[in-house]
């Protein structure tokens, strides 16, 4: 029920940006794609086009400077429409990826007809990126609506460690920085940017989706709120400790994406609160209280060591091939997932008391 949907308005793009990978953009994109008027690209599922917008702004500045050097004085007002034209071109490129000729390279016409998610030439194209880098530059490139998906940083980090072998300290700083980006930028653009929490989406799906549909300007009454997409890429559902499931499985009672960090030890909470506790509270989450002078000393030591990490990371990138770096992180994730599985097994078999 998907191909060639009649449109009563021109095609447009809505940008779905997650605070970081593992924030739930797969889930929200699938939910939005169940709306008759929404569809996403099927080949380039995460595009990162605006995450590199700084380069586009530099390009426009250099072009403008070239005009002035060659022909005289040209006002700054000429830069804004040039940058907006580039943004429009990017969105046209994305929408072109939903055209039948492109979609059918990867999915057969019959599969398109049978899929509730895939649509060709939908009225609204969902552009998905699990990053808010350069978020402040998006209003200069487009006036399209932006949905910002945030998630408890502890859940994001725990999922990233289980799935891809993230380093805790690195992920913690990245989440705090991304949170600051949203908190500083979104309130300045209330008509363009809408923030939704992943946890609220799980617990109040109809209300949150209704608000999103209203915000992006499509009919919320024609949506089937009882439908639930399968879980894709979860750090919980995997047939083997070495594999994540991207095809999707139906959720079970054991699926609990809100409490994966509950077994964190005090040291991990102490570090999170020190680096990102303010941002966590700003989004309405409650930190786990960890008190004591020794934790302050603990955090000061980490603060002193943290500046060494970026240079070491750059050295590793130069020395180690990307494929090898990926394998190292993947093996870290496998070991972490196995440790969680073993902990859960011991927890079930150990009698209380």
Q: Which residue has the tokens 């786990």?
A: 288
* pLDDT higher at 107 or 191: 191
For the question of whether the overall pTM of this predicted structure is more than 0.75, the answer is yes
Q: What confidence tens digit (pLDDT) does each residue in 176-196 have?
A: 999 999 999 999 999 999 999
Q: What is the pLDDT of residue 279?
A: 98
Query: Is a pLDDT exceeding 90 seen at residue 315?
Result: no
First-to-last CA distance in the chain? 56
Parallel/antiparallel/unpaired status of strands 38-40 and 124-129 = parallel
* pLDDT higher at 325 or 132: 132
Given pLDDT bands bounded at 50, 70 and 90, which one contains residue 317? Answer: confident
Query: Is a pLDDT exceeding 50 seen at residue 9?
Result: no
* pLDDT higher at 10 or 281: 281
Can you spell out the DSSP letters for 165-225? Answer: ---HHHHHHHHHHHHHHHHHHGGG-TTTEEEEEHHHHHHSHHHHHHHHHHHHTS-GGGS-T
Cα 186-152-228 angle, rounded to 5 deg: 90
The helix (run of H) or strand (run of E) holding residue 299 is helix 293-305
Q: How far apart are CA 201 and CA 90, in angstroms?
A: 29
- Each domain of the chain, given as residue ranges in start order, spans 1-353
Query: Is a pLDDT exceeding 70 seen at residue 291?
Result: yes
Contact 33, 224 (CB under 8 A): no
- Residue 16 contacts by C-beta under 8 Å, 6 or more apart in sequence? 25, 28, 29, 32, 126, 127, 128, 129, 147, 149
Contact 179, 277 (CB under 8 A): no
Given pLDDT bands bounded at 50, 70 and 90, which one contains residue 214? Answer: very high
Q: Which of 107-111, 138-142, 280-284, 295-299 has the lowest mean pLDDT?
A: 107-111
Parallel/antiparallel/unpaired status of strands 38-40 and 146-150 = unpaired
Question: Residue 90: which of 133, 44, 136 has the closest Cα?
Answer: 44
Q: Which of 66-75, 168-177, 273-282, 315-324 has the lowest mean pLDDT?
A: 66-75
Query: Is a pLDDT exceeding 90 seen at residue 66?
Result: no
Rg of the chain over Cα atoms, rounded to whole angstroms, equals 22
Instruction: Record the tokens describing residue 12, joined without a space.
Output: 């447009």
Q: How far apart are CA 199 and CA 286, in angstroms?
A: 13
Q: How far apart are CA 275 and CA 281, in angstroms?
A: 12
Q: What is the pLDDT of residue 195?
A: 98
> How far is the CA of 47 from the CAs of 51, 53, 314, 340, in angstroms?
9, 12, 24, 32
- CATH fold, domain 1-353, is Rossmann fold (3.40.50)
Contact 299, 308 (CB under 8 A): no
Q: How far apart are CA 353 and CA 346, in angstroms?
A: 14
Q: How far apart are CA 204 and CA 194, in angstroms?
A: 16
At residue 123, what are phi and psi to the nearest 5 degrees? Answer: -55, -35
Helix (H, G, I), strand (E, B) or coil at 147: strand
Q: Which of 36-50, 137-151, 260-274, 323-337 has the lowest mean pLDDT?
A: 323-337
Question: Looking at residues 245-268, what average pLDDT do you find?
Answer: 72
Q: How far apart are CA 145 and CA 126, in angstroms?
A: 10
Q: Rounded mean pLDDT of the chain?
A: 86
Query: Is a pLDDT exceeding 80 seen at residue 257?
Result: no
CA dihedral 181, 184, 188, 194 (to 10 degrees): 50
Q: How far apart are CA 289 and CA 306, in angstroms?
A: 23
Q: How far apart are CA 330 and CA 161, in angstroms?
A: 10
Question: Looking at residues 115-122, what average pLDDT do you find?
Answer: 87
Question: Looking at residues 231-249, what average pLDDT do you find?
Answer: 53
Q: Which of 88-102, 211-225, 328-342 has the lowest mean pLDDT?
A: 328-342
């Amino acid at each position: 029920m998907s191909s060639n949907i009649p449109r009563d308005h021109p095609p447009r793009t809505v940008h779905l940006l997650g605070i970081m990978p593992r924030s739930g953009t797969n889930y929200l994109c699938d939910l939005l794609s169940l709306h008759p008027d929404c569809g996403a690209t099927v080949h380039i599922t995460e595009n990162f086009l605006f995450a590199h917008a700084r380069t586009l702004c530099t390009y426009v500045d250099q072009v403008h400077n070239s005009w002035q050097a060659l022909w005289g004085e040209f006002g700054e007002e000429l830069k804004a429409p040039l940058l907006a034209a580039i943004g429009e071109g990017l969105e046209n490129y994305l929408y072109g990826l939903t055209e039948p000729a492109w979609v059918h390279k990867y999915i057969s016409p019959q599969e398109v007809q049978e899929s509730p998610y895939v649509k060709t030439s939908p009225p609204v194209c969902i552009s998905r990126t699990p990053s808010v880098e350069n978020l402040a530059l998006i209003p200069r490139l487009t006036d399209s609506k932006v949905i910002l998906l945030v998630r408890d940083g502890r859940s994001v980090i725990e999922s990233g460690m289980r799935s891809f072998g993230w380093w805790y300290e690195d992920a913690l700083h990245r989440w705090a920085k991304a949170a600051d980006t949203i908190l500083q930028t979104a309130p300045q653009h209330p008509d363009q940017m809408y923030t939704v929490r992943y946890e609220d989406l799980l617990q109040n799906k109809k209300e949150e989706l209704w608000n999103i549909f209203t915000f992006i300007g499509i009919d919320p009454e024609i949506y089937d709120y009882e439908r639930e997409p399968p879980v894709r890429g979860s750090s919980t559902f995997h047939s083997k400790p070495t594999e994540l499931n991207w095809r999707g499985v139906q959720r079970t009672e054991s699926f609990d994406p809100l409490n994966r960090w509950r077994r964190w030890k005090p040291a991990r909470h102490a570090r999170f609160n020190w680096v990102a506790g303010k941002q966590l509270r700003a989004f309405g989450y409650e930190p786990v209280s960890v008190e004591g002078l020794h934790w302050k000393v603990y955090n000061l030591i980490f603060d002193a060591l943290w500046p060494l990490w970026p240079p070491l990371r750059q050295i590793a990138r130069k020395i180690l091939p990307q494929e090898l770096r990926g394998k190292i992180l993947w093996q870290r994730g496998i070991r972490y997932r196995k440790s969680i599985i073993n902990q859960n097994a011991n927890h079930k078999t150990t009698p209380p008391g």
